[in-house]
């Protein structure tokens, strides 16, 4: 599965840093060249992590930052660290210690070195804010957080302290509360150049400390924000209000990702990175109305879901069809974030909730004052919310309960998860009536049929473990239970002419050309230049075309999953090797992934559906329910 925090890319600058260490870490004196009372002070908290140590992402953003037009009425202060990297000739000479800088004269002027300090601890953040507030006073203050983002799971990873958890939302609140108590500081905008931070929970947590939240519901592509445009615009208008500042961040981010995608495609990339991007600005003074609307909404859903397994399953199905963020694999539970506006609308349309759902939808759309989305994410409302779908464990529910958030909504999550775990998941699959090339399966499932698949397998040398050679999803339709009939010799997937193992990652409803359509996302587990990845293809309802939309780095050896970081940098000359999956029939779970002997150049990466003339391996069916329980059958009778 994916790591519990999501990579992101943040800001940039160009120039060099002075080699001297002028001033102590606690120094509050600002340079004489900087106005003692500026119009704005922008604080940028750069947790370098592996984003910097592996790809120099933070340095790239910092280069853009220092290349921006400057103004004596705008203070830009930066703190860096948390990466296993030293670069004496670089913009930041040492990322292993926490350093403080001010942007001046096209450079990062160092103001202090705190040594090895954990950047995902609340005290490090509060100390930075207090220092910056005292050293660089201004009329207005803005804070930008740069690193991996995980929505409700928090922010940031520090390579220098690898065993430290990310900064939780309660820890972030503690940092901001401490800074406010000691200095009285209130931010007019807090922005995250990080994945997945435009959640209702994040907005609610930050509401006492800021006026606006600027963030993305979805994963961010590698290049992140356009810092040169953002800060040049602010320098030209130092008194720019926070909403306008948020609009500049949004528009320049979208424009940058479009340009980057254009450039990548021109250079031979096979997919665009900007298709499903999102960005929104939320008025935090209106978030209270959202959380107030959540109370009756949550109470209604909790009562409904606990009435019967049928009701629970209907609610789960609407959750699955809701626009989701952070992972495309149904087995990847990294974030479990659903678009709140879309979720409320779907539940209202399904008759599961009525006025309560409409009030939530209205409150969300009132709170989100600006949003721009990519072509494949047009329906995203601007705020997501945690609602478990891919992972239904009491542990996750308990962690969520620790957040300072709507008690009614947290009770809903707990009741929803508890109900699923108290029931005995039961999936029975009878394929005995199958014959020739026709699969006839009678399926009984207490928690419905979420998806199904047909697989070619070989028995391994390990008893009870089979190797999956190829697979294809089976359309289960909208029925929550019942029989399945399909042709076993048809509709197999071929990647560049090679039979492949394809997984249904998601079926989501999106707005396309003004109409609501279901978009199916399909994943193919492969190795790209010897690195395990998932190639993602999408098909829009009513079309047979399978469009390659991106490559996501996965984690080998646990399950087919997608990376928290969008990486579309795959070219026609890259070497692609199909992956093989070993599945334990006793545990009913995947146990390992390994490369096959089938390798080829990526070429145009064409995924097509074709038939097979004969099958020499076993054929097995798998059904998964909405509780994420799966069952693979014994070999299916067939003759072709």
Q: What SS3 class is residue 480?
A: coil
CA-nearest of 14, 11, 344 to 200 is 344
Q: How far is CA 94 from CA 56, 100, 227, in A?
A: 13, 12, 22
Residues in a beta bridge with 537: 522, 548
Task: Tell me if 31 is assigned to some domain.
Answer: no
| DSSP secondary structure code for residue 230 in this structure | H
The answer to whether residues 263 and 49 touch, using CB atoms and an 8 Å cutoff, is: no
Same domain, 194 and 342: no
Task: Tell me if 264 is assigned to some domain.
Answer: no
The answer to whether residues 357 and 297 touch, using CB atoms and an 8 Å cutoff, is: yes
Q: How far apart are CA 76 and CA 78, in angstroms?
A: 7
Same domain, 205 and 314: no
pLDDT surpassing 50 at residue 368:
yes
Task: Tell me if 270 is assigned to some domain.
Answer: no
Q: How far apart are CA 458 and CA 490, in angstroms?
A: 20
Domain end marker among 240, 275, 296: 240
Task: Give the pLDDT confidence score for residue 541 in this predicted structure.
Answer: 86
Please, is 145 exposed, middle or buried when counting C-beta atoms within 10 Å of its C-beta (0-12, 13-18, 19+)? Answer: buried
Task: Give the pLDDT confidence score for residue 554 in this predicted structure.
Answer: 59
Mean pLDDT computed over 127-156: 96
Q: CA quadruple 32, 33, 34, 37: dihedral positive or negative?
A: positive
Task: Give the pLDDT confidence score for residue 563 in this predicted structure.
Answer: 33
Same domain, 91 and 179: yes
Same domain, 463 and 609: yes
358 sits in which H/E element: helix 355-367
Same domain, 397 and 355: yes
Residues 274-327: tens digit of each pLDDT: 888 999 999 999 999 999 999 999 999 999 999 999 999 999 999 988 988 986
What is the residue-wise DSSP string for 233-297?
HHHH-TT--HHHHHHHHHHHHHHHHHHHHHHHHHTTBSS-SSTT-EEEEEEGGGHHHHHHHHHHH
> Parallel, antiparallel, or unpaired: how do β-strands 189-193 and 465-474 relate?
unpaired
CA-nearest of 450, 452, 441, 447 to 482 is 441
Q: How far is CA 467 from CA 290, 462, 464, 533, in A?
A: 48, 10, 10, 19
Please, is 241 exposed, middle or buried when counting C-beta atoms within 10 Å of its C-beta (0-12, 13-18, 19+)? Answer: middle
Confidence of residue 33 (pLDDT cuts 50, 70, 90): very low
Task: Give the pLDDT confidence score for residue 395 in this predicted structure.
Answer: 67
Task: Tell me if 628 is assigned to some domain.
Answer: yes
CATH number at residue 210: 3.40.50.11970
pLDDT surpassing 90 at residue 381:
yes
Domain end marker among 422, 437, 468: 422
Residues 215-248: tens digit of each pLDDT: 999 989 889 999 999 999 999 999 999 999 999 9
Q: What SS3 class is residue 466?
A: strand
Domain end marker among 209, 240, 271: 240
Query: What HEC string does 418-444 produce?
Result: HHHHHCCCCEEEECCCCECCEEEEEEE
Task: Tell me if 247 is assigned to some domain.
Answer: no
Residues 592-620: tens digit of each pLDDT: 999 999 999 999 899 999 999 889 899 99
Q: How far apart are CA 310 and CA 330, in angstroms?
A: 21
Same domain, 410 and 466: no
Task: Tell me if 396 is assigned to some domain.
Answer: yes
Same domain, 417 and 435: no
Task: Give the pLDDT confidence score for residue 478 in this predicted structure.
Answer: 63
Same domain, 411 and 559: no
Beta-carbon count within 10 A of 247 CB: 18
The answer to whether residues 618 and 635 touch, using CB atoms and an 8 Å cutoff, is: yes
439: phi > 0 → left, psi -120 to 50 → alpha, else beta; which?
Answer: beta
Task: Tell me if 262 is assigned to some domain.
Answer: no
**Helix boundaries (H) for 153-238:** 169-183, 200-206, 227-236
Q: How far apart are CA 205 and CA 130, in angstroms?
A: 19
Task: Tell me if 2 is assigned to some domain.
Answer: no
- The number of domains in the chain is 3
Task: Give the pLDDT confidence score for residue 568 in this predicted structure.
Answer: 59
pLDDT surpassing 70 at residue 625:
yes
Same domain, 576 and 449: yes
Same domain, 580 and 622: yes
The answer to whether residues 601 and 428 touch, using CB atoms and an 8 Å cutoff, is: no
Q: Which domain holds residue 319?
A: 288-368+384-422
Residues 70-125: tens digit of each pLDDT: 999 999 999 999 999 999 999 999 999 999 999 999 999 999 999 999 999 999 99
Task: Give the pLDDT confidence score for residue 20 in this predicted structure.
Answer: 34
Give the CA dihedral 577, 581, 582, 585, nearest 10 degrees: -160
Same domain, 516 and 536: yes
Output the average pLDDT for the chain: 88
Confidence of residue 13 (pLDDT cuts 50, 70, 90): very low
Same domain, 578 and 461: yes
| DSSP secondary structure code for residue 208 in this structure | T
Contacts of 340 (CB under 8 A, 6+ apart): 200, 290, 360, 364, 381, 383, 384, 385
**Helix boundaries (H) for 14-138:** 49-55, 57-67, 122-135
pLDDT surpassing 60 at residue 213:
yes
């Amino acid at each position: 599965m994916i790591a519990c925090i999501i990579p992101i890319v943040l800001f940039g600058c160009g120039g060099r840093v002075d080699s001297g260490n002028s001033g102590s870490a606690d120094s509050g004196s600002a340079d004489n060249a900087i106005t003692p009372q500026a119009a704005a002070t922008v604080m940028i908290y750069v947790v370098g992590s592996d984003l910097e140590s592996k790809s120099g992402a933070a340095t790239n953003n910092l280069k853009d930052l220092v290349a921006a037009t400057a103004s004596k009425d705008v203070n830009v202060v930066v703190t860096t660290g948390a990466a296993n990297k030293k670069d004496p000739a670089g913009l930041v000479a040492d990322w292993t210690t926490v350093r403080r800088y001010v942007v001046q004269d096209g450079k990062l002027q160092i103001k202090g070195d705190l040594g090895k300090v954990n950047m995902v601890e609340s005290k490090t953040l509060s100390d930075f804010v207090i220092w910056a507030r005292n050293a660089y006073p201004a009329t207005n203050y803005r804070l930008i957080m740069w690193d991996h983002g995980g929505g409700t799971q928090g922010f940031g990873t520090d390579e220098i302290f690898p065993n430290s958890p990310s900064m939780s939302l309660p820890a972030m609140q503690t940092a901001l509360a401490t800074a406010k108590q000691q200095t009285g500081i209130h931010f007019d905008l807090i922005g995250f150049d990080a994945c997945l931070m435009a959640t209702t929970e994040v907005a609610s947590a930050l509401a006492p400390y800021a006026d606006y939240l600027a963030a993305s519901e979805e994963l961010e592509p590698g290049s992140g924000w356009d810092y040169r445009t953002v800060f040049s615009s602010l320098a030209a208008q130092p008194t720019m209000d926070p909403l306008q500042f948020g609009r500049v961040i949004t528009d320049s981010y979208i424009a940058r990702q479009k340009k980057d995608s254009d450039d990548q495609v021109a250079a031979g990339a096979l997919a665009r990175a900007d298709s499903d991007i999102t960005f929104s600005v939320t008025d935090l003074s209106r978030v209270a109305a959202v959380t107030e609307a959540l109370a009756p909404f949550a109470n209604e859903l909790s009562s409904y879901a606990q009435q019967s397994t049928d009701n629970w399953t209907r609610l789960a199905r609407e959750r699955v069809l809701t626009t989701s963020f952070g992972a495309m694999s149904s087995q990847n539970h990294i974030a479990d974030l659903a678009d709140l506006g879309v979720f409320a609308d779907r539940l209202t349309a399904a008759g599961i909730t009525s006025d309560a759902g409409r009030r939530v939808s209205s409150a969300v759309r009132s709170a989100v004052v600006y949003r721009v989305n990519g072509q494949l994410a047009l329906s995203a409302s601007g705020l997501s919310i945690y609602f478990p779908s891919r992972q239904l464990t009491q542990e996750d529910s308990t962690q969520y309960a620790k957040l300072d958030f709507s008690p009614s909504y947290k009770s809903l999550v707990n009741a929803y998860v508890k109900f699923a775990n108290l029931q005995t998941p039961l999936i029975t699959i009878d394929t005995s009536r199958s014959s020739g090339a026709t699969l006839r399966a009678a399926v009984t499932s207490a928690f419905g049929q979420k998806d199904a698949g047909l697989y070619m397998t070989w028995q391994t040398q390990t008893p009870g473990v089979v190797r999956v050679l190829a697979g294809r999803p089976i359309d289960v339709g909208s029925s929550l239970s019942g029989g399945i009939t399909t042709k076993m010799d048809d509709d197999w997937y071929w990647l560049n002419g090679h039979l492949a193992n394809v997984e249904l990652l998601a079926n989501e409803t999106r707005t396309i050309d003004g109409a609501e359509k279901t978009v199916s996302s399909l994943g193919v587990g492969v190795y790209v230049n010897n690195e395990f990845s998932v190639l993602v293809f999408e098909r829009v309802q009513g079309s047979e075309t399978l469009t390659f939309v991106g490559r996501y780095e996965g984690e080998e050896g646990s399950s087919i999953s997608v990376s928290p970081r969008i990486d579309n940098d795959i070219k026609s000359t890259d070497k692609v090797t199909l992956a093989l999956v070993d599945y334990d029939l006793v545990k009913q779970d995947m146990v390992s992934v390994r490369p096959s002997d089938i390798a080829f150049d990526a070429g145009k990466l064409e995924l097509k559906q074709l038939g097979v003339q004969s099958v020499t391996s076993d054929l097995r069916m798998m059904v998964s329910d909405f509780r994420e329980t799966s069952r693979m059958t014994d070999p299916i009778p067939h003759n072709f």
